[in-house]
C-alpha cells in the first residue's frame, strides 16, 4: 500500500522536473532570440572619399587678368598704295588732253595725213574744212562724204595706240574747236591718219562755242 502511494508522488516529481526543463529551454531560446531580434543597429552612411561630412565652400572665382598691352608698335608698311586704274572715257565722251603734249609736239604732228568727211546737210562742207586745215599747214589728203551713220558733232578721230595720230587729232581739236575721240568701229579699218568728220556745227578755226 505504501508503494502504491509513493508511485504517484514520484510521477508528479518527474512531471515537475520535465516542466522545469521545458521552461529553462524556452527561456534560453527566448533570451537568444531577444538579444538579436529587437535591437538592429541602424546602418551608418559612410561619406565618399574626400568628403569630411561638411561641404567645403567653393573657392572664390577671380576673373583672369586681361593681357598686358603689347609695347611693340608694328612697323609701318613700306608698300606703296596701289595706283587707281586709269579712267577710260565712255563712248561719245571727249578724250582728255594727252600728257606732255606741248605746242612744239602738236606743230610737229602736222605731217600726219588728215582725211575730212562731210556728215552734214551743207554741200561742200568737207572741202571747205579741208581748205581751212591746209591754210594752217595740215596735210589734208582727202575730202569726201560719210554716210555710215549720223555723227552728233564735228570730231577728229585717231587710231588708239598711235601717238602721232593722237597728238595731231588733239592739235586739230584745239585749233578748230572739235571733239577728239578714238576711232569707232565704223571707221576702224580705214586708211591711217586722222579722220575728221564735220557736221552742221563746224564753223572753222577757233569759232566753235563763241
CATH of the domain at 165: 3.30.70
- CA pair distance 182, 89, nearest whole angstrom: 10
DSSP state, residue 101: -
Overall number of domains in the chain: 1
205 in a structural domain: yes
Confidence tier at 202 by pLDDT (50, 70, 90)? very high
Q: Is residue 131 part of a domain?
A: yes
Q: Is residue 7 part of a domain?
A: no
Q: Which tens digits make up the pLDDT trace of 4-42?
A: 455 666 666 777 787 777 777 666 555 555 544 444 444
Q: Which domain holds residue 159?
A: 114-178+195-210
40 domain residue, yes or no = no
Tell whether 209 is covered by a domain. yes
Cα 26 to chain centroid distance, Å, stands at 100
Angle between helices 125-135 and 163-176 (to 10 degrees): 100
For the chain, give percent helix, strand, coil, nearest 5. 35, 10, 55
3 band by pLDDT with thresholds 50, 70 and 90: very low
Task: Give residue-wise pLDDT tens across range 39-94.
Answer: 444 444 444 444 444 455 454 555 556 555 555 544 444 444 444 344 444 544 54
Total-model pTM: 0.52
Residue 3 belongs to a domain: no
Q: Is residue 144 in some structural domain?
A: yes
Q: Are 167 and 98 in contact, with CB atoms under 8 Å apart?
A: yes
- Alpha-carbon distance of 131 to 62, in angstroms, equals 96
Residue 11 C-alpha from the chain's centroid: 122
Amino acid at each position: 500500500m505504501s508503494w502504491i502511494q509513493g508511485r504517484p508522488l514520484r510521477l508528479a516529481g518527474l512531471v515537475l522536473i520535465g516542466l522545469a526543463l521545458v521552461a529553462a529551454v524556452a527561456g534560453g531560446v527566448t533570451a537568444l532570440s531577444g538579444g538579436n531580434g529587437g535591437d538592429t543597429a541602424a546602418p551608418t552612411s559612410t561619406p565618399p572619399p574626400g568628403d569630411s561630412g561638411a561641404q567645403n565652400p567653393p573657392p572664390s572665382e577671380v576673373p583672369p587678368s586681361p593681357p598686358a598691352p603689347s609695347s611693340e608698335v608694328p612697323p609701318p608698311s613700306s608698300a606703296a598704295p596701289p595706283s587707281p586704274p586709269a579712267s577710260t572715257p565712255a563712248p561719245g565722251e571727249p578724250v582728255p588732253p594727252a600728257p606732255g603734249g606741248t605746242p612744239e609736239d602738236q606743230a610737229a604732228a602736222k605731217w600726219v595725213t588728215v582725211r575730212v568727211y562731210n556728215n552734214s546737210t551743207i554741200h561742200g562742207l568737207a572741202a571747205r574744212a579741208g581748205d581751212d586745215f591746209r591754210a594752217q599747214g595740215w596735210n589734208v589728203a582727202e575730202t569726201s562724204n560719210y554716210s555710215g551713220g549720223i555723227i552728233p558733232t564735228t570730231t577728229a578721230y585717231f587710231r588708239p595706240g598711235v601717238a602721232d595720230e593722237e597728238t595731231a587729232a588733239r592739235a586739230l581739236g584745239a585749233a578748230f574747236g572739235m571733239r577728239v575721240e578714238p576711232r569707232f568701229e565704223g571707221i576702224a579699218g580705214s586708211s591711217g591718219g586722222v579722220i575728221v568728220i564735220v557736221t552742221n556745227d563746224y564753223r572753222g578755226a577757233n569759232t566753235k562755242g563763241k
